[in-house]
Amino acid sequence: MTSTLDQTSMATTSFTFPLRYGFPPFFSLQPNSNTHAVQVKRWSNLIQSWCRYYRIFKISLVDAIESPLFRNAELHRQLSLKDARIVLDWMSKGDEEGGGGRRAEWIDGGNKGAAWIWWRRPEEWAGVIAEWVDNTGQKNVVLTVYELLEGEATVSQEWHGMDAEVMFKSLNVLVKQGRAQVFGSEGQEGVKFF
């Protein structure tokens, strides 16, 4: 399971960066408000694409800032930690707040050192899981959370191997909708879909 930045798994495959990643100004947030708005949106898209490609669900900024995501070794340029926090702050705000559609969520509150990256928000994962339940006849069947994350039946599913916390956030969406019930003790949780 790749839930955080893992340099060994990244070495085996190669992410294709967008063309703008090769331009030095991309690594310095611009002061002009219009340019800044476009730039943080492009950083948001890059972060989401990177995390989706490598199946990363959360990042530690201290680790991520040294990764190829924020550091272009060929240009000898990198986004500063301060600017990375600005991008993730923007990503964490809703569209109505002039933000990035809640595509990030700070895990450690005010410290702003680690964040969930929502290349699919929990509500979106809930929809994908519910569709799989409907398509595979899993309604009124009890499955363990482990089966959902690691079982043979889900190997072909995009959520297979996802971070357990993301799965629980997604299942809680279905619980609130009255479409699932989660029960059991920590580490041995089961879920029944309705």
**Do residues 183 and 169 make contact, with C-beta atoms less than 8 angstroms apart?**
no
pLDDT of residue 109: 79
**Do residues 170 and 126 make contact, with C-beta atoms less than 8 angstroms apart?**
yes
Domain 7-117 and domain 122-193 have a common topology: yes
Per-residue pLDDT reduced to its tens digit, 89-115 = 999 998 888 888 999 999 987 789 999
CA angle 20, 83, 42 (to 5 degrees): 30
CA distance 9 to 31: 36
What burial class does residue 79 get, using C-beta atoms within 10 Å of its C-beta: 0-12 exposed, 13-18 middle, 19+ buried? buried
pLDDT of residue 98: 80
Q: Say whether pLDDT at 154 is over 70.
A: yes
CA angle 107, 113, 116 (to 5 degrees): 35
Hey, where are the domains in the chain?
Answer: 7-117, 122-193
User: What is the percent of the chain where pLDDT is above 70?
Assistant: 93
Q: Say whether pLDDT at 11 is over 60.
A: no
CA distance 26 to 32: 13
Q: Which of 85, 107, 174 is nearest to 138 (CA)?
A: 174
Q: Say whether pLDDT at 12 is over 70.
A: no
Calculate the alpha carbon distances from 3 to 28, 55, 78, 159 in Å: 27, 7, 23, 11
CATH of range 122-193; options 1.10.10.10, 3.40.50.450, 3.40.190.10, 1.10.3720.10:
1.10.10.10
Report the amino acid identity of residue 90. Answer: W
β-strand pairing of 58-60 with 114-117: antiparallel
133 membership: H or E segment, kind and range = helix 122-136
Greater confidence, 58 or 187?
Answer: 58
User: What's the pTM?
Assistant: 0.87
In CATH terms, the fold of domain 7-117 is: Arc Repressor Mutant, subunit A (1.10.10)
**Do residues 129 and 117 make contact, with C-beta atoms less than 8 angstroms apart?**
no
Structure tokens that stand for 10 in this block:
């990244």
Strand partners, 117: 104
